[in-house]
Structure 1
Amino acid sequence: MIQRLENKNPEVAALIRQVFQASYAVEAELLGALDFPPLRRPLSDFIEIGNVFFGFFEHGELAGVIEIIPDTAVTHIQSLVVHPANFRKGIGSALLTYVLKRCNSPVFTVETGAENGPATTLYRKFDFREILQYDTDHGVRKVRFEKRRASE
């Protein structure tokens, strides 16, 4: 079940952060990153940010989260994380499908580490196209993907 998460609520924000921390620890390892800024994201950021969060619940537990910056022109997927206990269950695909159907913008963007095979495979499966690669100041090569809706 997917629902919007009230991240302004500190208890909900703490649950969101727990899933982020668990998922990003795995991603940092995948990328070989010794310094991975998403792991330093404080709880206050989840509470204060204006982004929109949707959560996937599995047996009453928060199993995955997608964070978006919605806009009429472009919806940016800021983060898509799944708790490692729930990897390979289709949760990332379900969250991505939900956002693609819910948001009406003609363009969607997302970034991930270039060496994050599971994420790049997921975005390509949904017809996202690579538009840019760049190196971060913390030593991670990133890739930006974009998906444009077909013209009606």
Structure 2
Amino acid sequence: MIISKIQLQDVFQSKLLLEVQQAAYQVEAALIGSTAIPALKEDLETLQNCGETFYGYWIEDSLAGAISYKREGEVLDIYRLVVHPYYFRRGIGKALVRFIEEAEDHIKKIIVSTGTKNLPAKKLYEVLGFRETGEREVMPGLWITLFEKWR
């Protein structure tokens, strides 16, 4: 196992990331009852130009999971946390969040959101010390839960 930066301009790495992302978000779509997850419809070019920093969790040559974020000053905003369904319940999501918490210096707050009905993701963030700060309807009938963690 190794966690390393994903080079979005590397077509091979980006294609692997897109496959993992689509598999993971299909599971979330079933959990929340909506396929309106923007990343579910993303293509390779859009992914490569998203402006996020990505790290991947590799098991041998397989990309098992990935995390992405953007940083604004002392705030780290987690945009995506995806784990291929084959690798669910192995601590990969937890390892990726902990990795970026340590990789970025001088962070005072980390924020993240997930589908309100995505109970496994909500539980993961709570276990990692995030505090729920509210809910927001992002489109009719589709709610997300907001979390933050102060350091």
TM-score (norm 1): 0.93
Counterpart position of 1:146: 148
CA offset at residue 34 of structure 1?
A: 4.1
Counterpart position of 2:91: 90
Query: How far apart in 2 are the matches of 1:33 and 1:114?
Result: 11
Q: Structure 2: any 5+ residue segments left out of the alignment?
A: none
Q: Structure 1: any 5+ residue segments left out of the alignment?
A: none
Counterpart position of 2:71: 70
CA offset at residue 138 of structure 1?
A: 5.2
Query: How far apart in 2 are the matches of 1:101 and 1:86?
Result: 23
Q: What SS does the corresponding residue of 2:134 show, helix, strand or coil? A: strand
The aligned amino acid for 2:57 is F
Counterpart position of 2:51: 50
Give the alignment of 1:3-152 within 5 angstroms: 3-104=4-105, 105-137=107-139, 139-149=141-151
Answer whether contact 2:133 2:147 (CA < 8 A) is retained. yes
Query: How far apart in 2 are the matches of 1:138 and 1:18?
Result: 28
Is the alpha carbon distance of 1:75 and 1:39 closer, same or farther for their aligned partners in structure 2, counting shifts above 3 Å? same
Query: How far apart in 2 are the matches of 1:54 and 1:138?
Result: 32
CA offset at residue 51 of structure 1?
A: 1.0
Query: How far apart in 2 are the matches of 1:35 and 1:16?
Result: 19
Answer whether contact 1:35 1:138 (CA < 8 A) is retained. no
CA deviations on 1:95-130 (whole Å, 9 max, x unpaired) are 011011111211000010011111000100111111
The aligned amino acid for 2:67 is I
CA offset at residue 14 of structure 1?
A: 1.0
CA offset at residue 42 of structure 1?
A: 1.7
Query: How far apart in 2 are the matches of 1:42 and 1:34?
Result: 15
Answer whether contact 2:26 2:35 (CA < 8 A) is retained. no
Query: How far apart in 1 are the matches of 2:71 and 2:37?
Result: 25
Query: How far apart in 2 are the matches of 1:95 and 1:62?
Result: 12
CA offset at residue 93 of structure 1?
A: 0.6
Q: Structure 1: which 4+ aligned runs deviate by more than 3 Å?
A: none
Query: How far apart in 1 are the matches of 2:124 and 2:70?
Result: 19
The aligned amino acid for 1:18 is E
Q: What SS does the corresponding residue of 2:102 show, helix, strand or coil? A: helix
